[in-house]
Structure 1
Amino acid sequence: MKHSNSKIALLVYAICPRIQAEKKAVFGSIHFQQSLALFEKLQDRTQRIAQESGLETFWVFDDTQVGKSFGERYSKAFADLFQQGFEQVISVGNDIPGLEVAHILDAKSQLQNSQTILGPAEDGGNYLIALSRSHFEEKSFSQLPWNSNKLHSAIKGLFQNQNGSVFQLEYLIDIDDFNSLTRFKAELKSGEFYRFIIQLLRSILTFFEKGEYFFNDRITSKDNPLRAPPALNF
């Protein structure tokens, strides 16, 4: 099916909040509900930003996409939009608390001068990837080191070798664990999302103050970063 209106699509390639909460366990495995609330909040925020961008937006959830690996599934999402007639695709995830509509609009503007726009994440990945159809090759894109700290340098090298034109946005933090969340909170300092994070941390602190952590500490898996109240410095 050909698309005849906008030349640029916004692709939100998302991991559903429940899967994010299970895999990342930001607050530890015994605080699943707080992790779920965090990723649901991030998804709601991403929906608002996508609407504000004014771009035609397509949501693709990784667990419903066809492909054996993340790279194959993600590449297919780009390929499908290019096949619909879009000339350029801007892709973001749903776990970047620092993402603003300005990042998307900046990528849209820079696509007029560059074929590739990258928003690097501090963990070595990317929170935004904007590509032009003329420089997209599905197989090589799918074989990049996805979900690793080498991704940004690899994808930058791939497209620089193709056309030498890569524009880089500012670095942002994506939420992979408790430490990345607290780093973001320290940078944020105020605002609605900051207050939401503080509320989550206080709910966990209340849990500790009741003494329940004393019993759970003996049965909780070692992935729990909140094994005692000192971890909650806010």
Structure 2
Amino acid sequence: MRQDHAKNQRVAEAFYDHARQAVAESGLPVVEVDDTQQRGSDFGARLANAFADAFAAGYDRVIAVGNDCPTLHEVDWTGVVTQLAADRPVLGPTPDREGAYLIGLTRAQFDRAAFATLPWRSSELVPALRSHLEAAVGGRPVRLTPRADVNGHGDLMRLLRGASAPPALAERLRHVLGDAFRTHQAEQRGATRPVLKRRSRAPPSPRPGSHT
């Protein structure tokens, strides 16, 4: 059990480092908020406080990103900044439309109390967030290309079987998973291997008690 926890921690660290590199390469100022800096009794409160702290630090536009999006490095950061400079909020949804990998807001568009009480971590989040932002600006937020995030073991295995993961991240994750990933690969090959049945060229033999 302790070994599984350590492995999960190393997987989380791999994604965190990938997200840190992706935003660092954007050239934008970066404010990291880790578990020790978060404040609030639930996810919504913690995220709202993180936004509020960034605005209190003097930023007029804030972009929040998740650390579980393996293609975060492909975001057009210049385009996001351009939209925010034109007072248009930006929303990057996941393909299932149940989450967001990026939320960009200006100071005027941020309502701390309303933001904190949105249905975070539920299937109702994106519609509720979109409606919230529409009310804040009187128009629809800019919607980015949907990007998948990784929320569990199944998502992680699908990521490593596909071609969307950056090579460095994929290699690090395979190293962390070790035998678990190799076992999964073997199981997948066994599940998809076709079963061939040899057909007899001779007529079927009569069963006892039957007539030919």
TM bin (shorter chain): 0.7 to 0.9
Does residue 204 (structure 1) correspond to residue 180 (structure 2)? The answer is yes
Q: CA deviation at 1:189?
A: 6.7
> Closer, same or farther in 2 for the Cα pair 1:232/1:35, shift >3 Å?
farther
> Closer, same or farther in 2 for the Cα pair 1:106/1:29, shift >3 Å?
farther
Aligned partner of 2:151 among 166, 176, 180: 176
> Closer, same or farther in 2 for the Cα pair 1:128/1:205, shift >3 Å?
closer
Q: CA deviation at 1:198?
A: 3.6
**Gaps (5+ residues) in structure 2?**
191-212
Answer with 132-141 or 40-49: which moved more: 40-49
Kindly provide the amino acid, as one letter, of the partner of residue 45 in structure 2. E
**Gaps (5+ residues) in structure 1?**
1-27, 209-225
Q: TM-score, normalised by structure 1?
A: 0.69
d(CA) in 2 for partners of 1:44 and 1:101?
15
**Structure 2 partner of 1:10:** none
Instruction: After superposition, give the CA deviation of every residue in 1:144-169 in whole Å (9 maximum; x if it has no partner).
Output: 01122221111011111232141011
Q: Is the 8 A contact 2:15 2:169 kept in 1?
A: no
Aligned partner of 1:139 among 87, 103, 113: 113
d(CA) in 2 for partners of 1:83 and 1:56?
15
Q: CA deviation at 1:107?
A: 1.3
Q: Which has the higher strand share?
A: 1
Does residue 125 (structure 1) correspond to residue 125 (structure 2)? The answer is no
> Closer, same or farther in 2 for the Cα pair 1:139/1:192, shift >3 Å?
same
Q: Look up the SS of the partner of 1:174 in the other structure.
A: coil
Q: TM-score, normalised by structure 2?
A: 0.76
Q: Is the 8 A contact 1:34 1:200 kept in 2?
A: yes
**Structure 2 partner of 1:100:** 73
Kindly provide the amino acid, as one letter, of the partner of residue 69 in structure 1. D
Aligned partner of 2:19 among 46, 62, 65: 46
d(CA) in 2 for partners of 1:231 and 1:35?
22
> Closer, same or farther in 2 for the Cα pair 1:205/1:52, shift >3 Å?
closer
Q: CA deviation at 1:90?
A: 0.6
**Structure 2 partner of 1:37:** 10
**Structure 1 partner of 2:164:** 188
Q: CA deviation at 1:143?
A: 0.5
| Aligned-residue identity in percent | 28
Instruction: After superposition, give the CA deviation of every residue in 1:18-76 in whole Å (9 maximum; x if it has no partner).
Output: xxxxxxxxxx9863333222211111112212221121111112453222222112111
**Structure 2 partner of 1:25:** none
Instruction: Say what the alpha-carbon RMSD is for the aligned residues.
Output: 2.8
d(CA) in 1 for partners of 2:177 and 2:35?
29
> Closer, same or farther in 2 for the Cα pair 1:113/1:205, shift >3 Å?
closer
Kindly provide the amino acid, as one letter, of the partner of residue 148 in structure 1. S
Instruction: After superposition, give the CA deviation of every residue in 1:129-185 in whole Å (9 maximum; x if it has no partner).
Output: 000111111110010011222211110111112321410111111111122123333
**Structure 2 partner of 1:115:** 88
Does residue 69 (structure 1) correspond to residue 26 (structure 2)? The answer is no
> Closer, same or farther in 2 for the Cα pair 1:29/1:160, shift >3 Å?
farther
Q: Is the 8 A contact 2:22 2:73 kept in 1?
A: yes
> Closer, same or farther in 2 for the Cα pair 1:51/1:154, shift >3 Å?
same
